[in-house]
Every structure is written in C-alpha cells, then in structure tokens.
Structure 1
Amino acid sequence: MTLILKNQSLHRHFAVYKPYGYLSQFVNNGQKQNSKKLLGELSNFPEGTMAIGRLDEKSEGLLLLTTDGKVSNHICSRKIEKEYYVQIDGIITFEAIQQLAKGVEIGFEGKKYTTAPCKVFKLDSIPNFPQRSKKIRDDRHGPTGWISITLQEGKFRQVRKMTSAVGFPTLRLVRIRVGTIHLNDMKVGEVRELNAL
C-alpha cells in the first residue's frame, strides 16, 4: 500500500536513511561553506527534490524526499503517522508514558503548546541500529531505555521536548516509519527510489 497518489509518473520519490549530523536540506542557507553536511552529498538527486518534513541534525532514520510539492504537503499534514524509536536518559515510568500519550506542554515559537494525544510504549529490547557516528554516553552514567512514539504532528524538535517535559531527556532519536513506509533494513546514508508515495 502506498501513502497516496496516482498519476504521478512525472515525479520522483526517495527514501533515505538520514545519518546523524546531516541537515534535512540541500542548500546551506548562508551558513559557512562546507560547515554542515547536506542531503545532496548522499546521492545525485534530480533538480527540485525536497525533503518531506525534517529530522534535525542530531536525529537519524527515515526521511522521504520528493519532487512533488503536493505529496510533501499531504505527508506533512496530520493524516500521516510518523513513528520514532527514542533512547532516553533513565528508565521511563508508566506515569511518564501515560503523560506523553495524553499530551504534554512544550515550548514552540516562544509560546506554550500542548501536544496532541499519541501512541507511546516502552520497547522490550534494544533496537538493532548501526552504531552512531558520535558516541552516546554509556551506562556508567546511569541506565538508559528505549520507547516508541508515534505522532501525527511534527513541531520543531517535538519528540525531544516531549521526553524532556516528563523528565527523561532524549539521547538518540531514530525515525523508523512514515505512514506505511518503514526503515527496515536500510543502511545509514542509503537512498532508495520509490515507485510512489
């Protein structure tokens, strides 16, 4: 099953495993030349390719790209679920999971914002992700745990702000799913062209 769309043969779509340390953009936006890693370094994408939503520089995982602005707008709407596996500082409590699921108050654009209800659960085992390019602190500094968070919204740094709001800061954030498209066995930096979105 695809996310949407028929008769989009003129457009091209891609799934990317965005590595840690990359920006979800193709242009430096006036930043010092070569100071940041950009998506264009991963493949020779066609002109007009854009990221559908974003993952911040420190986040990893599934990022969809398209040459079709209508597709981008649809997927960025609340109709499409985005699932994240999140390594947190500490062992999360049942109460904190309930708070996250109901919605928590975070700061957004200088104002208070209450997140929409979402799906949250604790992972029973550690996900088998590749080692990150920048080391994450080890258990000598206290235990860590993993949770799944599935949102239908996407405010700036929302997941990180949510886990901090309940007292369990995010250490690592990997998006594993957008709608029906999964990260699965993709390798870090891999690009796969999709027939449709």
Structure 2
Amino acid sequence: MQVISRTHVGLVRENNEDALLVREPYLFAVADGMGGYAAGEIASRSTIKAFEAATHSLRHEQEEQNIRKVMLEAFDKANTHVFKMAVSNESYSGMGTTMTALYLPGDGHGYCCHVGDSRLYLFRDDKLEQLTHDHTLVADLKEQGKITDEEAFVHPQRNILLQALGVEETVKADFFSFRLQEGDR
C-alpha cells in the first residue's frame, strides 16, 4: 500500500487548522479545527494526539465489535480532552474540530469512525463515493429534501456544523465498516 498525505491552508484562512495521523500501514486520521473559532489548530492537533494515545491496543483487535469499541472510546477520550482544555482556558473557549479516522487491519475491511464534515471517500472502478455523512445543517436539510445539491453548494449556512469534537461534554461518533477490493483508493 502506498500512502500520501498533505494538507493545505485553503482559500479563506491564514493558518492551517488540519492535523494528520499516519500510522502506516493501518491507522489514519484527519482532524480539521473549526475555522473562525478560537484555537482550531490546537483543537485538531490535541484531538489527533489524544486519539492516537487511546488506539494503541487497536492493532491487536480482530473482531469488529472490539474495533468499534476501541475507536469509539478513543473518540470519546479525544472529545473529553479537548472539551476540558476549552473550559479550563478562556482563550480556548469554543474551540472544536472534526475528525475522520480509518483503520485498515488487513482483513479485507476498512473501519471508519467520524464526527463533523471531514470526509472519507472510496474511489473504486472509476467512481468516487463519499462514505461518511456530514454532520452539518446543510446535509440534514438535503437529507430531509428541503434543499437540492445545487442549493446546498451555495447555501449561506453550508459551514454550520451540528457536531464536532470538543464542543460539548459528550459526542456521538459514527462508526461503520466496509469491504475492500483490490485497486480501491
């Protein structure tokens, strides 16, 4: 497997609030601090560090239920860590981050844990498919049939997150698995 990672500040912000975890060949995560809020870059980096520290046992797990438990607990620990930072330091008040993590144990499956709007895509047979569901106001409006894809793209509230790590005392992360095929990206 070949792994390439890169982040970019984007077109709007002056500082890069992305943080990456690349623990080859099996664990990957991206966190993106909430732009426009206090300390987004600190939230994303702290989340990645806390998540990594809580997933060391993951490499020894074989059963999906155990993988699920470790990944969800790691998201909870990362959330708690960032939330405590935010409430204990006024300059961090309101900080938060999204995070998407992918575990590839080599059993023909991918395991994903996700909060926010950082995305996991699967490129297979010349088709790109978004695997994660954005935790945003616009994604919910689309799902309810209240706006179209075209309207979502230009919606004035398209960046409003409904869920992020570190913002609330608890968080409900999504977890799912999927089968891998040779040639998947």
> Higher relative CO (CA 8 A, sep ≥ 6), structure 1 or 2?
1
The two structures have a TM-score, normalised by structure 1, of 0.28
The two structures have a TM-score, normalised by structure 2, of 0.29
Question: Greater strand share, 1 or 2?
Answer: 1
